[in-house]
Chain A
Amino acid sequence: AQSVTQLDSHVSVSEGTPVLLRCNYSSSYSPSLFWYVQHPNKGLQLLLKYTSAATLVKGINGFEAEFKKSETSFHLTKPSAHMSDAAEYFCVVSGRNNDMRFGAGTRLTVKP
């Protein structure tokens, strides 16, 4: 079985500073890993996806994530936060049968 743990329920950064949202995963297989973003009262938007190709994955809106098998981590980063990045972020692992397991989410607050 697979699972993800998002290590921070809430992260607060100042505009223009780096963003780090942490995710650890557990999987019996070679996993597919995803990051989704959800703005208030909106659906989830796919930010990026890892599927055993390059370990550094670039996504939309300047986000990227690095797959580290030795650390079972898939942390999401962005060099410079923008006010529009304030949202809920979900780390997700997909297993052999394409069933997705969602993390509990990390709320990102961006201060002016």
Chain B
Amino acid sequence: SQTIHQWPATLVQPVGSPLSLECTVEGTSNPNLYWYRQAAGRGLQLLFYSVGIGQISSEVPQNLSASRPQDRQFILSSKKLLLSDSGFYLCAWGLTDTQYFGPGTRLTVL
């Protein structure tokens, strides 16, 4: 069966510091991978998606970036965090029209 992991589970970072969140999937090959952000009291916002290694599509221009160095690894990064980057970050994988979500990372930027 497939499993999706995210780490860290929680993170507190100062404004201006870098960010790296990691997501890995087990039990499947060549999945579509997604990064979402969920701000407090708001719905899910799609940030990036990838259909293959090195292929990244950005949905929202911002100070975040994503990379997919391996088939089942998806990384979300920032060089300098903003206060507005605080939120709950969710990684998801899918092969067809269904997406399966990881446990999420709670990021607080102070």
Provide the B70-110 mask, 1 if CB < 8 A to any CB of A, else 0. Answer: 00000000000000000010101010111111111010000
Total A-B Cβ pairs within 8 A:
42
Closest to A51 in B: B97
Asked whether, in the complex, the Cβ of B98 is within 8 Å of the Cβ of A46, the reply is yes
Determine whether the beta carbon of A98 is less than 8 Å from that of B100. no
Is residue A78 contacting chain B, with contact meaning CB distance below 8 A?
A: no
Is B43 a contact of A41 with CB atoms below 8 Å? no
Kindly name the residue among B6, B98, B102, B104 whose own CB sees the greatest number of chain A CB atoms within 10 A: B98
Interface string of A79-112 (1 = CB under 8 A from B): 0000000000010001000111011110000000
Most chain B CB within a 10 A radius of its CB, from A36, A43, A94, A99: A43
Q: Which residue from A32, A90, A99 sits with its C-beta under 8 Å from B43?
A: A90
Output the least CB separation between B46 and chain A (Å): 8
CB <8 Å contact, B100 and A46: yes
Q: Name the interface size band of chain B.
A: 20 to 34
Give CA–CA (A99, B106) in the complex, Å.
24
Interface residues of chain A: helix, strand, loop or mixed (majority): strand
Asked if B101 and A43 sit within 8 Å, CB to CB, the answer is yes
* A45 interface residue (CB < 8 Å to B): yes
- The yes or no answer to B44 lying at the interface (CB within 8 A) is yes
A42 neighbours in B (Cβ, 8 Å): 103-104
Is the Cβ of B90 less than 8 Å from the Cβ of A98? no
- Using CB atoms and an 8 Å cutoff, list the residues of chain A in contact with chain B: 32, 34, 36, 41-46, 49, 51, 90, 94, 98-100, 102-105
28 sample A-B contacts, Cβ–Cβ < 8 Å, listed by A number? A32-B97, A32-B98, A34-B98, A36-B101, A42-B104, A43-B6, A43-B90, A43-B102, A43-B103, A43-B104, A44-B44, A44-B90, A44-B92, A45-B101, A46-B100, A49-B98, A51-B97, A90-B44, A94-B98, A98-B32, A98-B96, A98-B97, A99-B46, A99-B49, A102-B43, A103-B43, A104-B42, A104-B43
